[in-house]
Amino acid sequence: MKTIVNPARGVWKSELARPVQKSRDIEKIVKPIMRKVKRQGDKALKKFALEYDHVSIKHLPVSREEIANGKLLVSEDLKQAIIQAKENIEKFHEAQQTPDLVMETMEGVVCMRRSVGIQKVGLYIPGGTAPLFSTVLMLGIPANIAGCEEIILCTPPNKEGNIHPAILYTADLIGIDKIIKVGGAQAIAAMTYGTESVPAVDKIFGPGNQYVTAAKQLAVKKGVAIDMPAGPSEVLVYADESAIPAFVASDLLSQAEHGVDSQVILLASSEKVAQRVIQEVDLQVEKLSRKEIAKRALQNSVAVVLTNQDKAIDLINEYAPEHLIICVKEDDEEEVVSRIKNAGSVFIGNFTPESAGDYASGTNHTLPTYGYARNYSGVSLDSFTKKITYQKISEQGIKNIGPTIEIMAANEMLEAHKNAVTIRLNYLKENQ
């Protein structure tokens, strides 16, 4: 993990550059997969399972018997932890519900807005080196609260053709019973086009590797919405002398262990702070079961020393991290937090690990990466809804607003628009 001290603003972008994603090369691999699934349906999914996951799948949908058997393999401790996380995530997302908006903009003209759940949603749950059963909670719970009518969950099987028991338990706990044994770009293709076993959906959610990400972006071109563009996981920790080095190091490593293309950034107020944290990183990484992954991720990572707080905040907003951890003196905390404009999710103080948001605090862990926090929000209840507007105009209302519409339509030279009002006003004059 290299260290740079007080870098000039002009080199921030290059020094903090994310790992390069060869999107064109990846698309060349993904496009034929998408086409084959569209043409061959389940047959293609089974073929790709054999080719990529090295498993022969006879029945793609998970049976009720498999769910029941899987649940027995989950420890009571883990079940209780999942239940606690579920309760917190439900509380926070239920609180995001908004009442219908109804207002009279002028006499006789009533406008309304209502949230309506997206009918069919697809959830992609990675199941490779780290089966993300927590993501089932993060996506399934708001989908339920939003009132989505159909929820499809796709996740890759292991080499025995089974789904990770914790994924099955969590899905069943929140009422998802359409679980399909399919992973990778082919899962995204199946939810985009539909197959014999996988219904086509209106919007696809969930993290994944670069092939899944490319497939999601191709799905958009086919009229299917996605949660957000995404890249490898990342964290930026802003630490001053009040930060506890061991805590900061543990947060950096919690992201580094996600994958070799993850990136972690330490933004320190002094060289002394940076040195102490790096020493802790070197000590802690050796104890990790995924240390080789974490070490490779650290090669993409950097410690930046900026002694000027204003510049540090500017750097944070320019980088726009997926996860931002702020560990500064309490006297400075409020000001720093209030000036953050670009971040997926913010964690404040020494005792707020990023892991809390990943699992159980209540916020959602599906967040914009690769700088997309500049213009995208993380997943929330709103992600699973559409906002539909309505209006109702009375006889008096059309009299009040009609002349305004006529003038505007005439000046845009849209005669039929104007006439749609004029014909109503004339009718009212003739029938008074």
Which residues are annotated binding-site positions for substrate?
Answer: 233, 255, 258, 323, 358, 412, 417
Q: How far is CA 35 from the centre of its chain?
A: 26
Catalytic residue among 93, 164, 323, 365: 323
**Which of 208, 192, 194 has the alpha carbon at shortest distance from 42?**
194
Instruction: Collapse the DSSP code of 188 into the 3-class scheme (helix H, G, I; strand E, B; otherwise coil) and give the result.
Output: helix
In angstroms, rounded to a whole number, what is the distance separating the alpha carbons of residues 227 and 206? 7
Which residue ranges make up the annotated binding site?
124, 186, 209, 233, 255, 258, 323, 358, 412, 417
Residue 214 structure tokens:
């490319």
State the binding site for Zn(2+): 255, 258, 358, 417
CA dihedral 362, 368, 372, 377 (to 10 degrees): -40
Separation of first and last alpha carbons in the chain? 81
CA distances (Å), 300 to each of 257, 362, 364, in order?
12, 30, 26
Farthest CA pair distance, the chain: 88
Between CA 303 and CA 325 the distance in angstroms is 14
419 alpha carbon, distance to own chain's centre = 46
CB proximity list for 16: less than 8 A, separation 6 or greater: 265, 302, 304, 315, 319
395 is catalytic: no
Nearest to 189 by CA among 231, 222, 232: 222
Which of 280, 322, 354, 365 is an active site residue?
A: 322
Q: Which two tokens stand for residue 291?
A: 């240390």
Cβ contacts of 215-219, under 8 Å, gap ≥ 24: 215/30, 215/33, 215/34, 215/184, 215/185, 215/188, 215/189, 216/188, 218/27, 218/30, 218/31, 218/34, 218/188, 218/192, 219/188, 219/189, 219/191, 219/192
Question: Active-site residue 93, yes or no?
Answer: no
Token representation of residue 28: 């060349």
Q: How many Cα atoms occupy the beta-carbon half-sphere of 353 within 13 Å?
A: 17
Residue pair 171/153 in contact (Cβ under 8 Å)? The answer is yes
Q: Which residues are catalytic?
A: 322-323
